[in-house]
Amino acid sequence: MDCEPEELQFLSILGIYRESAKLIHSWRSLFARIAVSLILPLSLLFLLHIQISYYLFNSIDSDDSALDRAAPDSAAEHRILQRLASDWMKLMIFKGVYLVALLVLALLSTAAAVYTVASIYSSKELSFSRVLSVVPKVWRRLMVTFVAAFVLLFGYNTLAISGLVLVLLLLDGTVVAAPVAVLFAFFYLAGLIYISIIWHLASVVSVLEDSKGFEAMRKSRLLIKGKIWTVAGIFTLLNFGFVTVEVTFRELVVKGAGMVPATRVFYGFVISVLMCAFVLFALVVQTVVYFVCKSYHHESIDKSNLSDHLEVYLGEYVPLKAKDVQLEQFHV
């Protein structure tokens, strides 16, 4: 990193983006290999999922329309119902396989990016083979944190939906029903963004510290105190970028109205590369944000201890312990 640890706290949103871009550029050969081996398959899987889901849903919609026109209890109706059942089964199986594959690739990519950035920060000897040897041991910790985040999101959404239904039932027919629903939706989205931020930072905590699961999320929540608006701005802009790429892919490649197949293939290739680069950048950014938050709270990760704990000792990954994360206090 170009900045000294105590200077990271002063980085703005653009400063964090710039620092992340410099890291990728300085180690472009290593990051390129990580991107091609892990992040590109993740990006292709995500985009392929959009394409296949579009065709499956189109088939279901077509069968639904045909069912409406079919005579009741006719042979045609039975055939259409069988096709619908088959289409829905294919969709469910596809979604299940996709989510498992996406989770595995996402966790492996996150582990590789976080480990790489931390190793660069600690001035540790680094190579692509070393990263690959550590990643399988690190991703198990990320899995525990993912499960904790999933449980939290499930509980949050359950409470939000229940609360919204209750409010609408109590205010049904009143003039304040619509404004209250809009206000409720605003606070719901704000809470969703907050949980998402905690989850992303908890992933870094799970790799670099001895915490995982709910404990990692608790530490993540404490880390963003005082930097919440900066961190929220960073992840909001990144999510906006993801949505933009996804919408562009849907319009130019999946639908591709009026385009010849060759043009759609070309756009698909360009967007796949763009998505891969964007995911890599986002993973590096979330790791840099971790160090920025540590610096803001005047906590320094001692580089020698960080390097020691990033080693694979007797084939086991050793996470950084909490006592090593706060070895030094910077006084401004």
- For the stretch 101-149, pLDDT in tens is 988 899 889 888 988 888 887 777 778 888 888 887 787 888 899 999 9
- For the stretch 61-90, pLDDT in tens is 887 777 777 777 777 777 888 888 888 888
The pLDDT assigned to 47 comes to 92
Which residue in 134, 146, 139 sits closest to 105, CA to CA? 139
Local confidence band at 18 (pLDDT 50, 70, 90 cut-offs):
very high
| Least confident span in 32-46, 69-83, 293-307 | 293-307
Residue 329 β-bridge partners: 299
pLDDT for 93 beyond 50: yes
pLDDT for 250 beyond 70: yes
Q: What is the mean pLDDT of residues 221-226?
A: 89
